[in-house]
Amino acid sequence: NPLQGAQFVLAAHRIQQLPADEGAEVAFAGRSNAGKSSALNALTGHKGLARTSKTPGRTQQMVAFSLPTVLRGETSQAVETRLIDLPGYGYAKVPEALREHWRHEIDRYLHERRSLRGVVLIVDIRHPLKEFDRMMLDFCVRTLLPCHVLMTKADKLTRNQASQALTVFRKEIGADVPVTAQVFSVPDGTGVEDARAAVMRLLES
Ligand code: GDP
């Protein structure tokens, strides 16, 4: 597992506090409770890396995890790689001012972060394409930022329903967009290997 060596680096409240904007990173985004922390833990193989089932109102943060260095380029120059866990979006109980703060910080992060190679968007396969998801996908399409969607909690559906949900989702997103999508599930491991490969492709792009 190429994501195995992930290590907590820091938690930030503003993008200026993130690690230096060098190398390559992939950001994880999603509505709160979609299953983002569980997905991060499954991908890295660390049960406690990202905190799951957070209590509403808990301080939200951007969290940086370092990965083992990826070698790339013709000179095989070492490139530092990271995963960034963005704050979950849409807690009902978060005060409006804090929500606005994160809307602003996430927006700036997406626009300004030069080392950002792509976004992994976590959606609940039973409720894909909520407002936040549409905003994120629209942003990626407009700016040609690659986005890989994990339609998680697939274990809540039959295999047939899950693949149907994927087909419907892909149709809605349309062709000729920098968006890929797959079915994912933490308890039964569905799609975990494919998702790791997708993260590595983004980092190496
Ligand atoms: P986050 O707020 O997006 O980080 O969501 P969490 O990772 O904390 O997950 C929210 C809830 O969904 C928790 O109760 C998890 O156990 C559950 N969950 C996450 N992923 C899956 C999954 O693939 N299948 C099922 N059945 N439950 C999941």
**CATH code of the domain containing 134:** 3.40.50.300
Q: Residue 58 falls within a domain, yes or no? A: yes
For the chain, the domain total comes to 1
**What gap in Å lies between CA 90 and CA 131, rounded to an integer?**
10
Q: Residue 73 falls within a domain, yes or no? A: yes
Q: What is the pLDDT of residues 85-134, one digit of tens each?
A: 999 887 767 788 888 888 899 999 999 999 999 999 999 999 999 999 99
Q: Residue 153 falls within a domain, yes or no? A: yes
Q: What is the pLDDT of residues 4-49, one digit of tens each?
A: 999 999 999 999 999 999 999 999 999 989 999 999 999 999 888 8
Q: Is 60 in the pocket of ligand 1 (CB under 6 A)?
A: no
Q: Residue 199 falls within a domain, yes or no? A: yes
Report pTM: 0.94
Q: Residue 107 falls within a domain, yes or no? A: yes
ipTM reported for the complex, 2 dp: 0.99
- Written as one letter, the residue type at 160 is N
Q: Residue 137 falls within a domain, yes or no? A: yes
Reply yes or no on whether the pLDDT at 2 is more than 50.
yes
Tokens, residue 203: 């980092």
Q: Is 153 in the pocket of ligand 1 (CB under 6 A)?
A: yes
Expressed as residue numbers, the domain containing 20 is: 7-204
62 Cα–ligand 1 center, Å: 18
| Residue 75 to residues 25, 80, 117, Cα–Cα distance (Å) | 20, 15, 20
**114, 21 contact by CB (below 8 A):** yes
49 Cα–ligand 1 center, Å: 14
Q: Which atom of ligand 1 is nearest to the CA of 31?
A: 3
Q: Residue 155 falls within a domain, yes or no? A: yes
**What gap in Å lies between CA 88 and CA 60, rounded to an integer?**
8
Average pLDDT rounded to a whole number, residues 74-81:
82
157 Cα–ligand 1 center, Å: 15
Q: Residue 2 falls within a domain, yes or no? A: no
